[in-house]
Amino acid sequence: MGVKQSAAGCDTLDGGPASAYNNAVRRHWIWLVPALLILSGIIGYWRYRQWRDHRFDPLILSASQRYGVEPALVKAVVWRESRFNPRARGKAGEFGLMQIREAAASEWAQAERLKSFAPEQLLDPATNTLAGTWYLRKLLARYQKTDSPIPYALADYNAGRSNVLRWNKGAAETNATAFVGQMDFPGTQKYVRSVIQRYRLYRNALLSKEP
């Protein structure tokens, strides 16, 4: 009996069933820990994206209601201009969420009869969203005689009125599809298409939440 027990003990120490089980458990944990870390990272990133993409929704909705612009369109512009970064600054002097320039913001301030206004105020998300939505409404109204004012307004927002006047010749004067195709600024063309695509995405999401 003593010899058999000793032999059994040697089998365990030298890689018998118990040792094989322990090795399997260790291998399992070696793979499980990285998998859990990756999973927690994915969940954390998803939660951050949800927070980032929705934290300004109340401000966007408020500005949209005030100036009569679809919230999905305002949010799409915010997404494209700043990726929801309220401290963003552009190379040409743009500020905040909707990358508003001082000239456009000054127009808004005058229209709202604000006694004092400084460009730095555009780094405030609420102020920026109000000024940007007001300006977007102004551009949409400018192209009401077209079959779809949005592409024209977005092109104006991105490249300015003078370039829109170059592009809206012939059929493109009122036909949005022809207008987008006639742009000779690939960057603006991509801008318009990406904002419209995002606008439709946000619009469908908002419609799906309606009772």
Q: What is the DSSP string of 89-144?
A: B-TTS-BTTTTB-HHHHHHHHHHTT-S---GGGGGSHHHHHHHHHHHHHHHHHHTT
Residues 63 and 161 in one domain: yes
Residues 81 and 145 in one domain: yes
Which positions are annotated as active-site residues?
81
Cα gap 96→122, rounded to integer Å: 6
Kindly state the tokens that stand for 69: 């612009």
Residues 11 and 98 in one domain: no
Residues 60 and 46 in one domain: no
| b/e sequence 26-55, b meaning 16+ C-beta within 10 Å | eeeeeeeeeeeeeeeeeeeeeeeeeeeeee
Kindly state the tokens that stand for 6: 């000793």
- Residues pairing with 89 in the sheet: 95
Residues 193 and 96 in one domain: yes
Residues 100 and 147 in one domain: yes
Which residues, given as ranges, of the chain have pLDDT below 50? 1-14, 210-211
Q: What is the pLDDT of residue 115?
A: 87
Residues 182 and 140 in one domain: yes
Residues 65 and 39 in one domain: no
Domain-ending residue, one of 26, 52, 78: 52
User: What letter represents residue 209's amino acid?
Assistant: K
Residue 118: partners with Cβ closer than 8 Å, 6 or more residues away? none
Print the domain residue range for 46: 2-52
Residues 39 and 74 in one domain: no
What is the DSSP secondary structure assignment for residue 69, as one 8-state letter? -
Whether the Cβ atoms of residue 175 and residue 146 lie closer than 8 Å to each other: yes
Residues 150 and 83 in one domain: yes
Cα gap 133→74, rounded to integer Å: 7
Q: What is the pLDDT of residue 53?
A: 82
The CATH number covering residue 184 comes to 1.10.530.10
pLDDT in tens, 129-159: 999 999 999 999 999 999 999 999 999 999 9
Residues 12 and 40 in one domain: yes
Cα gap 183→180, rounded to integer Å: 6
- Residue pointed to by tokens 């990726």: 83
Q: What is the pLDDT of residue 107?
A: 96
Q: What is the pLDDT of residue 1?
A: 46
Domain count, the chain: 2
Residues 18 and 103 in one domain: no
Kindly state the tokens that stand for 139: 């551009």
